[in-house]
A = this chain, B = another copy of it.
Amino acid sequence: MVTIQEVAKEAQVSVGSVSRYLNGHKLKEQNMQKIKQAIETLDYKENLFAKGLKSNQTLSIGILMNNMQSVFSSTLIAQIEEEMESHNYSILLNSYRNKIDKVAAKIDFLLDRKVDGLIIFEGEPEWPVYERLQTIEIPVISVNTTLDYPHVDSIIVNNRQSAKNMISKIIDSGHDHMGVISVPQKSSVARDRLNGTFDAFSEKGLDDSDYQIFYGDYSQKSGYQGAKTLIDQGLTTIFVTNYNMALGSLQYMFEKGLKLGEDISFACFDYPGVSDIFYPRLTTVRQPVHKMGTVTVNRMFERIKNPTIKNEIIQLENEIHWGNSIKEWK
């Protein structure tokens, strides 16, 4: 392994000069040339251990999430990874697979590795690590969930408002009975989406007898089951608050030969590009996943550069794509 000592000897300068050169300091032009030359001929590579030992920086950031197998998380990771790379940073992945009691250990794992920052997907205020998060001394960014601690930024989307807007518009199109496929109200995202739905219902004067809620478990299968249950009850307007379950619902409808926008009116949450393939005219609330990744990374580096800035809650807008999968009754 080539060290700066060897580079220094080769260039006939001191290690200090080499170190300074490497860190962008100015020195005598002639020496800079000699060092540059020496680095090339020796193929010197910096040693991140030694660097980190002094600077306490790893040039890596940790990502903690529940599960990396959803479209949302894999798209987001991919986006973040791409952005990080251009900063010469790497990402350290960690998932807790529904084991909330393991979250603390996961965070320790990442912290032990001295990541320079931490990105948490859908962390919840109810987590037992609540206390911990406040005391972490590196930048922490919460994605998709608001964690309103002094040192934590949150990047979120306006789920509640989007759901409300979507449902309002559907009702305005003449739909006064509706089936909703949602998930147990254990996360803020889940609550926001369903509450937004309720907001619209009450604003438009629909009550309990006008809608039916089916609670699935995020799986395609439960979406399928939900569609079956609701449609069997005679409902013809279905809203699904989650992409994966929406897929299951669509599956059921296709199997039954039901035509969207005619036999059934259908809308759901999804992601950019996903539904475009088969359902270009599907009515969806589209989450700006790529933008979330980009904003997250940008914010992370702002924080790394300036750790004292005040925390922020950055809210991005979902797009509403109004296709032809909702029948116009009016």
Contact = CB atoms under 8 A, between A and B. Distances in A.
Interface of A: 45-50, 52-53, 56, 58-60, 67-69, 74-75, 77-78, 81-82, 85, 88, 90-95, 97, 109-110, 112-114, 219-221, 224, 248, 251, 254-255, 257, 277-278
Contact of A85 (B67, B81, B109, B248): B109
A68 B81 contact: yes
Contact of A45 (B59, B60, B112, B251): B112
Given A49-B53, A75-B69, A277 B224 contact: yes
7 contacts: A49-B49, A49-B56, A68-B74, A77-B93, A88-B109, A90-B109, A224-B278
A68 to B, nearest CB: 5
B257 A278 contact: no
A82 B66 CA distance: 12
B78 A48 contact: no
A218 to B, nearest CB: 12
Given A92-B91, A93-B93, A78 B69 contact: yes
B109 A219 contact: no
B68 A78 contact: yes
A78 B92 contact: no
For the complex of A and B, list the 8 residue pairs with the smallest distance between their C-beta atoms, beginning with the closest: A254-B254, A49-B52, A49-B53, A74-B74, A221-B277, A69-B74, A90-B92, A68-B78
B90 A113 contact: yes
Contacts of A85: 94, 109
Contacts of A112: 45-46, 48
Contacts of A60: 92, 113
Given A49-B50, A90-B113, A224-B277, 11 more contacts: A46-B112, A49-B49, A68-B77, A69-B74, A78-B95, A81-B95, A85-B109, A88-B109, A90-B92, A248-B277, A251-B254
Contact of A48 (B68, B88, B114, B248): B114
Nearest to A54: B49
Contact of A277 (B75, B88, B219): B219
Contacts of A95: 78, 81-82
Contacts of A110: 90
Contacts of A52: 49
